[in-house]
Amino acid sequence: MELERQILHKNREVGRAFSQITLDDDYNLPDFKPDLAKIIRERGNIQFDEIHANNGHVWFKGTLAFDILYRTDLDGRKINSLNGEIPFQESLSIDGVVELDPVKMEGRIEDISVSVINSRKLSIRSLAEFTAVAEKPEEASVLTGVKEEGGCEIEKETLETLELITDKKDTLRIRKEISLSSNKPNMDEILWSSVELRGINSRLRNGEIEVAGEALIYVLYSGSEEEERLQWFETTVPIQGNVECNTCEEELVYRIGASLAQSDLEIQPDEDGEERNILLEMVVNLSIYLWKEEQIEVISDIYALDRQVKPSFQTAVFEKLLVKNDAKCRIADKVEMDGEQEDILQICVNEEKLAIEQTTVTDEGVLAEGILTVEILYMTSDDAMPLSAKRAFIPFSQTIEMPKAVNPVKIQLDGVIEQVTTVLADSRTIDVKAVIGLNLLAFEQQEKQAITEIDESELDLAALQQSPGIVGYIAREGDRLFGIAKENHTTVENLIETNHLTGRVVKPGEKLLIIKTVG
């Protein structure tokens, strides 16, 4: 007996681990930087240099890259900035992970604080969250046909499932030149900058992925005129690009994540030789997952009347797309200054960070809860402290509709910041409005008994002759005609004909007359 199979590809999660780690170090100011009087603003970012798995552990090393904006005691320029790195090397335990297993790592700064030891030395302390997920590519085969089946009785069912077509990473590189508006003075030095992705959308084309959106740019700089007075501007840069993908087809199910891996802003002279241009170079990391929806006729059971045909079963899990749904969460809040903070004269720079803290499946769908962190740099009316900062944590929650499922559900939820506006209500209050996009993919986990092998042997005639030739049977909950026929050595067609049934479904409590058939 020759078996026909179809191979399906998927990723199987080996395990995952989560840890919070404190990263701290002392940092000395470089000789060319002026003395530090007060910290205005600090931020950090996790960068991985190496990740590898070995014997139940995931080892990773990288750096905590930090930026600091501070006030000096100089008579002229009162604001300066610096950046540096703190290296780290850590490990997480994941049972079952072995060498060469692919591992996806995520690092997030939960909190960062900088304290002044003296005018030339800082203490930097950060709480970092690390999540590691180990997955293995896996093949699952389903039995779709039997050649030379002879007198075999076969039961088939339709399996709706997803096959993983692509799991890869790629990059999109953007290079743009930005020019100052005519009412802005020439640049001397960039003191603080922010580059954030907004409204990134991806579309599948045959053979490629089209990525579009924009980058929101904030720049705080010292002007080369007017006694180096602080200047700032904001602008947007369109993002447009295509990434090759040989497996791409428009009808595939996809999940494409975009994150900013690197951004550099460098002052450039314009055509007149004046420092009025900025060269933006950025790298956007893309994580690409593509699935194909399949409807496959599989053999769920088999037997024969003229010989012993015994299938072997193994439990297998197949994923089915339950829903792909997008929702928008609108946030409105007021940010009040602390008592010791300076009054706001004008808002300069906004930076935002989104974190989805928890997802919960409810009767209505998936409840997403998280925090939008808003960092605001603003000008003050105090000449001794012309620049200050305010950090606000704004909680949000939103339910994304999802149909109820019979089987367990695996959820993948991505959150993106689409829009944030900050408006000065008065010298102590800022109105914040935001729109957050929540993109849900939900997969139903179907557990099936899949046939792995089929053994054939001669029919045990002695045992067959000892069983009764005619049986009366009352159907029970969960019975199917094929199982009843198999158990009593007959066929579904004979059951239908003998009992004058109108279909292939038997109801609980229905009485059947079964006549044994000898092949």
Residue with tokens 């002279």: 269
Together in a domain, 76 and 164: no
Low-confidence stretches of the chain (pLDDT beneath 70): 75-77, 149-150, 225-228, 519
Q: What is the CA radius of gyration of the chain?
A: 32
**pLDDT value of residue 517:** 83
Structural domain including 372 reads: 322-446
Using DSSP's 3-state secondary structure scheme, residue 363 falls into coil
Output DSSP code: residue 76: S
Is residue 453 included in any domain, yes or no?
no
512 vs 485: CA distance, rounded Å: 11
Together in a domain, 221 and 336: no
Cβ atoms 124, 456 nearer than 8 A: no
Together in a domain, 91 and 26: yes
Residue ranges with strand state E in 337-484: 346-361, 365-379, 387-401, 409-426, 429-457, 470-474
Query: Order of strands across the sheet with 79-93?
Result: 38-54, 57-71, 79-93
**Residue 327: both structure tokens together:** 């929702």
Q: What percent of the chain is modeled with pLDDT above 70? A: 98
**pLDDT value of residue 359:** 96
Please name every residue paired with 219 in a beta bridge, in sequence order, or none if there are none: 193, 233
**pLDDT value of residue 175:** 95
CB contact set of 77 (below 8 Å; sequence gap of 6+):
222, 228
- pLDDT tens digit sequence for 209-244: 999 999 999 999 988 765 557 899 999 999 999 999
- Residue 498: in which H helix or E strand, if any? helix 492-499
5 vs 453: CA distance, rounded Å: 11
Domain end among 148, 174, 196:
148
**pLDDT value of residue 283:** 96
When divided into structural domains, the chain yields a total of 4
Using DSSP's 3-state secondary structure scheme, residue 278 falls into strand
We report the CATH number of the domain holding residue 504 as 3.10.350.10
**Cα distances (Å, whole numbers) of residue 376 to 63, 264, 344, 502:** 25, 21, 11, 73
**pLDDT value of residue 226:** 57
User: For the stretch 452-476, what's the b/e string if a residue is b when 16 or more beta carbons lie within 10 angstroms of its beta carbon?
Assistant: eebeeeebeeeeeeeeeeeeebebe
Cβ atoms 387, 230 nearer than 8 A: yes
**Residue 70: both structure tokens together:** 């501070």
484 vs 360: CA distance, rounded Å: 42
Is residue 224 included in any domain, yes or no?
yes
Count CB neighbours of 205 within 10 A. 12
Domain end among 280, 306, 332:
306
Together in a domain, 183 and 132: no
142 vs 5: CA distance, rounded Å: 5
**pLDDT value of residue 394:** 97
